Structure 1
Amino acid sequence: MKKFLLIISFMLLMVFGIVSCGKNEENNKPIDATKNEEQQIDDNNENVEQDNQEEHEEEESKVEEKEVEYINISPEEVRIPILMYHSISDDDPNNNLLVPPNMFEEQMAWLEANEFTAMSLDEALEAMETGKVPKRPVVITFDDGYSDNYTSAFPSLKNHGLKATFFVITDGVDNGYYMSSDMLKEMQAAGMSIENHTANHLELDKLSREDAYDAIKRGQDFLRNNIGSDGNYLCYPVGKYNDETIEIQKELGIKAATTTQGGISSIGDGLYQLKRVRIYPMSIESFSSIFSEYIY
Structure 2
Amino acid sequence: MQLLRSLAISTRLAVQTPWRRRQVQRLCELGQAPMSVLFYHRVADEQPNPWTISNGEFERHVDYCRENFELISLEEVQQRLDSGHSPRPSVTFTFDDGYSENCNFALPLLIRHKIPCTYFVTTENVRDGHPFEHDLRLKCPLPINTIEQLKAAADGGIEIGLHTANHVDFNQVRTVEKLNEEIVEAKDNLEAMINGPVRYLAVPFGLPQQMRPAVIETARKCGLKGICSAYGAYNLIGDDSFHIRRFHGDPQFNRLRNWLTYDDRKNRRRPILPDQDVLDMDPEIADTVRLPECVFS
* TM bin (shorter chain): 0.5 to 0.7
Residue by residue over 1:80-138, the C-alpha shift from the partner in whole angstroms, topping out at 9 and shown as x without a partner, is 10001111123236x32111111001111222233x33222111101111134452311
1:245 equivalenced with 2:215 (yes/no): yes
Q: 2:57 aligns with which of 98, 103, 118?
A: 103
* Maintained 8 Å contact 1:118/1:164: no
Q: 1:221 aligns with which of 147, 171, 188?
A: 188
Which residue of structure 2 aligns with residue 210 of structure 1?
177
Q: Cα offset for 1:218? A: 2.2
Q: Cα offset for 1:214? A: 1.2
* Maintained 8 Å contact 1:173/1:179: yes
* Maintained 8 Å contact 1:199/1:215: yes
What TM-score, normalized by structure 2, do the two folds share? 0.67
* Maintained 8 Å contact 2:85/2:237: no
What TM-score, normalized by structure 1, do the two folds share? 0.67
Structure 1 pair 142–134 and aligned structure 2 pair: CA distance change class (3 A): farther
Q: Larger RCO: Structure 1 or Structure 2 (Cα < 8 Å, ≥ 6 residues apart)?
A: 2
1:261 equivalenced with 2:228 (yes/no): no
Which residue of structure 1 aligns with residue 251 of structure 2?
281
Residue by residue over 1:172-203, the C-alpha shift from the partner in whole angstroms, topping out at 9 and shown as x without a partner, is 11527211112111211221110010111111
* Maintained 8 Å contact 1:198/1:218: no
Whole-Å Cα distance in 2 between the matches of residues 87 and 132 of structure 1? 33
What is the one-letter code of the residue matched to 2:256? F
Q: 1:118 aligns with which of 71, 77, 93?
A: 71
Which residue of structure 2 aligns with residue 198 of structure 1?
164
* Maintained 8 Å contact 2:33/2:89: no
Q: Cα offset for 1:147? A: 0.7
* Maintained 8 Å contact 2:53/2:251: yes
Structure 1 pair 158–72 and aligned structure 2 pair: CA distance change class (3 A): farther
Q: How does 1:1-296 map to 2 (within 5 A)?
A: 73=30, 77-92=32-47, 95-114=49-68, 116-133=69-86, 135-173=88-126, 175=129, 177-207=143-173, 208-239=175-206, 240-266=210-236, 268-283=238-253, 285-293=254-262
How many residues were matched structurally?
219
Whole-Å Cα distance in 2 between the matches of residues 241 and 205 of structure 1? 8
Q: SS of the counterpart of 1:96? A: coil
* Maintained 8 Å contact 1:263/1:276: yes
Q: Cα offset for 1:78? A: 4.8
Q: SS of the counterpart of 2:231? A: strand
What is the one-letter code of the residue matched to 1:244? A
- What residue ranges of structure 1 are gaps of 5+ in the alignment? 1-70
> What's the Cα RMSD here?
2.3
Q: Cα offset for 1:269? A: 4.3
Whole-Å Cα distance in 1 between the matches of residues 183 and 177 of structure 2? 10
Which residue of structure 2 aligns with residue 51 of structure 1?
none
Greater helix fraction, Structure 1 or Structure 2:
1
Q: Cα offset for 1:251? A: 1.4
Moved over 4 A (4+): 71-74
* Maintained 8 Å contact 2:82/2:241: no
Structure 1 pair 273–163 and aligned structure 2 pair: CA distance change class (3 A): closer
Q: SS of the counterpart of 1:237? A: coil
Whole-Å Cα distance in 1 between the matches of residues 29 and 183 of structure 2? 35
Q: Cα offset for 1:273? A: 3.7
